[in-house]
Amino acid sequence: DIQMTQTPPSLSASVGDRVTITCRASQSISTFLNWYQQKPGKAPNLLIFAASSLQSGVPSRFSGSGSGTDFTLTISSLQPEDFATYYCQHSYIIPYTFGQGTKLEIK
Amino acid sequence: QVQLVESGGGVVQPGRSLRLSCVASGFSFSNYAMHWVRQAPGKGLEWVAVISYDGSHKYYADSVEGRFTISRDNSKETLYLQMNSLRHDDTAVYYCARDRQSIAAAGIRMDYWGQGALVTVSS
């Protein structure tokens, strides 16, 4: 199975900050990488697919990049509603494993 | 609008069975692959299973292979997860999710999710 490792596990930041979360795959997955946001008690929400494509309705302050094994999710200017947990997931082969999550908290 | 509504969760003893349902509305259910994803209390997301648009192909995580069965009834626009031989570590919120694709090929992405159904395995 492909293992997905996210760093950092948690992150404290302030409104207006630029934030980057990293996801590393245990083998090359080309650009088959999705990012999800999850708020407490809610279902995940798709933000980015195919490593860098913005899902419809997602604010443009979210962006994704990377290919092969290393990927990043960037939030250009944090808003209060962005404090949540973020997960990467590869979509290369079954099983479609998720990273362990990055909890973004208010500083 | 797209809606996915899970039901069937509850408390069940180890070794027993439970069936989850996910009723879809607001889109052509029979055109999309569907997934089950679970989340143990306080933990991360775990992909569980996927079924193709017509039910002809099904795939599972190793942790549930041989115990869980994913199925669908397109006439009822409903997705199912039959869970047998339940274990304590199956305790989780189970989400159904729509795939933007019709089959489980590279590039899957889950663009709509249900609200989740809590399954607690406890004696």
Write out pLDDT tens, residues B3-18: 999 999 999 999 999 9
B83: number of Cβ within 10 Å: 24
Residue A101 Rama label (left phi>0; alpha psi -120 to 50; beta): left
Q: What is the pLDDT of residue B117?
A: 98
Q: What is the pLDDT of residue B68?
A: 98
* Chain A contacts in chain B segment 20-79 (CB below 8 A): 35, 37, 44-47, 50, 59, 61-62
Q: What is the pLDDT of residue A85?
A: 98
Are the C-beta atoms of residues B3 and B25 closer than 8 Å to each other?
yes
Q: Measure in Å the smallest separation between the Cα of A99 and chain B Cα atoms.
A: 8
B92 CB within 8 Å of a chain A CB: no
Q: What is the pLDDT of residue B104?
A: 87
> Who among A89, A93, A98 is closest to B106 (CB)?
A93
Rounded percentage of chain A residues whose pLDDT exceeds 70: 100
Q: Measure in Å the smallest separation between the Cα of B118 and chain A Cα atoms.
A: 11
**What is the CA B90 to chain-centroid distance, rounded?**
13
The pLDDT tens digits of the residues spanning B21-35 come to 999 999 999 999 999
Residue B62 Rama label (left phi>0; alpha psi -120 to 50; beta): alpha
Q: What is the pLDDT of residue B81?
A: 98
Nearest 10 degrees: CA dihedral of B112, A51, A87, A6? 170
B56: number of Cβ within 10 Å: 8
A28: number of Cβ within 10 Å: 12
Are the C-beta atoms of residues A32 and A88 closer than 8 Å to each other?
no
Query: Rounded distance, CA B38 to CA B117, Å?
Result: 9
Is the pLDDT reported for residue A63 higher than 90?
A: yes
Residue with tokens 């648009």, as numbered in its chain: B53
In chain A, which residue's Cα lies nearest the Cα of B35?
A: A96
Kindly report the CA angle at B70 between B67 and B72, in degrees rounded to 5?
155
Query: Rounded distance, CA B11 to CA B91, Å?
Result: 9
Q: What is the pLDDT of residue A107?
A: 87
**What is the CA B118 to chain-centroid distance, rounded?**
12
Is A91 in Cβ contact with B116 (below 8 Å)?
no
pLDDT < 50: residue spans in chain B = none
Is the pLDDT reported for residue A36 higher than 90?
A: yes
Please, which pLDDT band fits residue A82 given cuts at 50, 70 and 90? Answer: very high
Quick one: average pLDDT of A89-99?
97
